[in-house]
Amino acid sequence: MIGRIRGILAEKQAPDILVDVQGICYELQVPMSTIYQLPAPGEGVVLHTHLVVREDAHLLFGFYSLQERQMFRSLIKVSGVGPKMALAILSGMAVDEFVRTIRINDIAGLTRMPGVGRKTAERLIVEMKDRLAEWGGDMVLSDEAVSVPAGASAQPLSQEAETALIALGYKPAEATRMIAQVLKANPELTRSEELIRQALRSKASS
């Protein structure tokens, strides 16, 4: 098991990144909550990781915090929730927001996440409630702790944001509509990370 990786961030195109470790580039998939915390390409980065071994692939997932990784590992133990859906949930909700959603039985809030239907939301609430009871206040990330680093995008703003949303499970037309709505309301946005984050928040609150 690969538990942590330290190296130079070579590329980032949400939800995929490349980390150069002494000349070997590791490909990782990360949630948007981690994307927001990443430095600019060319700078050093340390990520906690989880390796998923399949017959056809070894998939490495990266997380900025141990709390994110712990939540990811708890999520993929729920019946019907795979790594892709777990990443989408962590991308659409901060960890503390997800904890609150489970504790208040907010099925509607969960079904706003891509790929999460009512039955899956019900299973999440039933199966996660006992696990989350063990989480203390220091185990939860606050939304205010998430910051967005500076750095220019290599692609047009809307294109990069739409690509990220599609990778998280949204249909292309839906991703385009979400991004267009955010840009119409916030034309001053200049970073794809901010655009993606606001699009996910708008979807969750709609």
Based on the fold, state whether residues 88 and 122 are members of the same structural domain.
yes
Based on the fold, state whether residues 76 and 89 are members of the same structural domain.
yes
Residue 167: CATH number of its domain: 1.10.8.10
Based on the fold, state whether residues 58 and 71 are members of the same structural domain.
no
**CB-count exposure of residue 148 (10 Å: 0-12, 13-18, 19+):** middle
3-state DSSP assignment of residue 17: strand
Backbone φ and ψ of 98, nearest 5°: -65, -40
Q: Is residue 112, in this structure, part of any structural domain at all?
A: yes
Question: What does the alpha-carbon distance between residue 42 and residue 59 come to, in Å, rounded to a whole number?
Answer: 23
Which of 63, 83, 98 terminates a domain? The answer is: 63
Question: What does the alpha-carbon distance between residue 19 and residue 112 come to, in Å, rounded to a whole number?
Answer: 32
Q: Is residue 47, in this structure, part of any structural domain at all?
A: yes
Based on the fold, state whether residues 134 and 94 are members of the same structural domain.
yes
How large a percentage of the chain has pLDDT more than 70?
Answer: 86
How would residue 138 be classed by pLDDT, with cut points 50, 70 and 90?
A: very low
How would residue 169 be classed by pLDDT, with cut points 50, 70 and 90?
A: confident
Which of 47, 63, 79 terminates a domain? The answer is: 63
Q: Which residues constitute the domain of residue 36? A: 4-63
> Of residues 4 and 202, which shows the higher confidence score?
4
